[in-house]
């Protein structure tokens, strides 16, 4: 009843996204440390994040954070609401739907500059 | 000789971890609550952080001057320090749980947990140093020397 069912997938996704976000966190702590070496070093390192391939990594990070956050709420609801377990599968689908719904608009802002669309301002200001 | 550690199946049919029962100790119960409390706080902290860095601004425009402007307000330093601390502890404690699922001998578990603990200390000190010592126009070395002179 468990293997291959929504419960196993939600658990596996929670784990994989959690580990992915943790890995990024450790890298991110190292990259912000570069700010202590002055504007030139930091601004140069920042250009990495403008790279289209690295933008795809950012998308994976954002999707992981959103899923992990919503599924975390689902886990807490199952823990503290006595009838929560009865709706675990419906809540899993709600988590997936919310993840996609909130991911799409955020993804637009992250990926648009690759196609020369800069909703946040001047495209020329963005080092690619 | 390696001691086998008996473990309860950690995973319920619903993909969540049951609250540690009798015999798990106060530490595991604290850890269980910490995941939930820090998790709720992190939802707000991380999502706002992502929106600021990837939606209202493009990540490539979050330059040195951007940070200098932002960190002129101590609120964002406290915000980032809270985010750093909770995310590191939540994440590395999560990794500890994952490792415990696969490592069944007490000695190896202790070794892995020691490494995770040292990782937490190392990265926390690194991030904290960056957040606290950042002064526009000064390198981290100059900032620390400046602090020592006062």
Say if A1 falls within a structural domain: no
Segment (H or E) for B93: helix B74-102
Say if B3 falls within a structural domain: no
Number of domains in chain A: 1
- The residue whose two tokens read 């009843």 is A1
Which residue in A16, A35, A17, A28 sits closest to A54, CA to CA?
A: A28
Say if B136 falls within a structural domain: yes
- Domain at A82, CATH number: 1.20.1300.10
Say if B8 falls within a structural domain: no
Q: What is the pLDDT of residues A39-53, one digit of tens each?
A: 999 999 999 998 999
Can you tell me whether residue B48 is helix, strand or coil? helix
pLDDT at position A52 is: 92
Q: Identify whether the C-beta of residue B21 lies closer than 8 Å to the C-beta of residue B34.
A: no
Q: Identify whether the C-beta of residue B42 lies closer than 8 Å to the C-beta of residue B88.
A: no
User: What ipTM was estimated for this complex?
Assistant: 0.90
DSSP letter, residue B52:
I
Say if A17 falls within a structural domain: yes
Can you tell me whether residue B47 is helix, strand or coil? helix
DSSP letter, residue B2:
P
Higher pLDDT, A96 or B144: A96
Chain A stretch 30-89, residues whose beta carbon is closer than 8 A to a beta carbon of chain B: 30, 32-33, 35-39, 42-43, 46-47, 49-50, 58, 62, 65-66, 69, 72-73, 75-76, 78-79, 85, 88
Phi, psi for A125 (deg, rounded to 5): -75, -10
pLDDT at position B133 is: 94
Range of the domain at B96: 26-149
Which residue in A116, A114, A37, A102 sits closest to A73, CA to CA?
A: A102
Say if A102 falls within a structural domain: yes
Please report the number of interchain residue pairs, chain A to chain B, with beta-carbon separation below 8 angstroms: 139
Higher pLDDT, B108 or A1: B108
Determine the average pLDDT of the residues in B63-88. 96
Mean predicted lDDT score pLDDT of chain B: 87
For residue A86, pLDDT beyond 60: yes
Determine the average pLDDT of the residues in B136-149. 81
Distance of CA B22 to the CA centre of its chain: 28
Say if A85 falls within a structural domain: yes
Residue A22 Cα distances to A42, A90, B147, angstroms: 22, 28, 31
- Domain at B114, CATH number: 1.20.1300
**Count of CB atoms situated within 10 Å of the CB of B73:** 10
Burial of B83 (0-12, 13-18, 19+ CB in 10 A): buried
* Percentage of chain B modeled with pLDDT above 90: 69
Number of domains in chain B: 1
* From A2, A30, A76, residue closest to B13, measured CB to CB: A2
Say if A55 falls within a structural domain: yes
* From B46, B47, B57, residue closest to A120, measured CB to CB: B57
Q: What angle do CA A26, A120, B57 make, to 5 degrees?
A: 25
For residue B82, pLDDT beyond 60: yes
pLDDT at position B111 is: 95
**Substitution target from A4, A29, A31, A71 for chain B, most B beta carbons within 10 A:** A29
């Amino acid at each position: 009843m468990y293997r291959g069912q929504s419960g196993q997938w939600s658990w596996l996704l929670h784990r994989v996204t959690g580990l992915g976000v943790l890995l990024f966190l450790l890298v991110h702590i190292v990259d912000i440390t570069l700010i202590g070496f002055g504007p030139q070093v930091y601004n140069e390192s920042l250009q990495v994040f403008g790279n289209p391939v690295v933008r795809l990594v950012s998308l994976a990070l954002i999707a992981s954070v959103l899923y992990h956050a919503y599924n975390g709420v689902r886990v807490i609801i199952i823990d503290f609401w006595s009838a929560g377990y009865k709706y675990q599968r419906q809540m899993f689908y709600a988590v997936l739907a919310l993840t996609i719904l909130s991911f799409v608009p955020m993804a637009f802002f992250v990926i648009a500059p690759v196609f020369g669309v800069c909703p946040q301002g001047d495209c020329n200001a963005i080092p690619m | 000789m390696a001691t086998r550690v008996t473990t309860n199946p950690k995973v319920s049919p619903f993909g969540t971890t049951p609250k540690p029962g009798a015999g798990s100790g106060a530490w595991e119960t604290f850890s269980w609550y910490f995941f939930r409390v820090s998790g709720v706080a992190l939802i707000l902290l991380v999502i706002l952080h992502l929106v600021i860095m990837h939606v209202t601004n493009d990540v490539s425009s979050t330059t040195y001057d951007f940070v200098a402007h932002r960190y002129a307000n101590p609120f964002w330093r406290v915000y980032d320090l809270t985010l750093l601390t909770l995310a590191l502890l939540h994440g590395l404690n999560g990794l500890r749980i994952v490792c415990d699922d696969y490592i069944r001998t007490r000695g190896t578990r202790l070794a892995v947990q020691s490494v995770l603990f040292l990782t937490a200390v190392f990265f926390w000190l690194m991030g904290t140093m960056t957040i606290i010592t950042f002064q526009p126009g000064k390198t981290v070395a100059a900032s620390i020397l400046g602090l020592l002179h006062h």
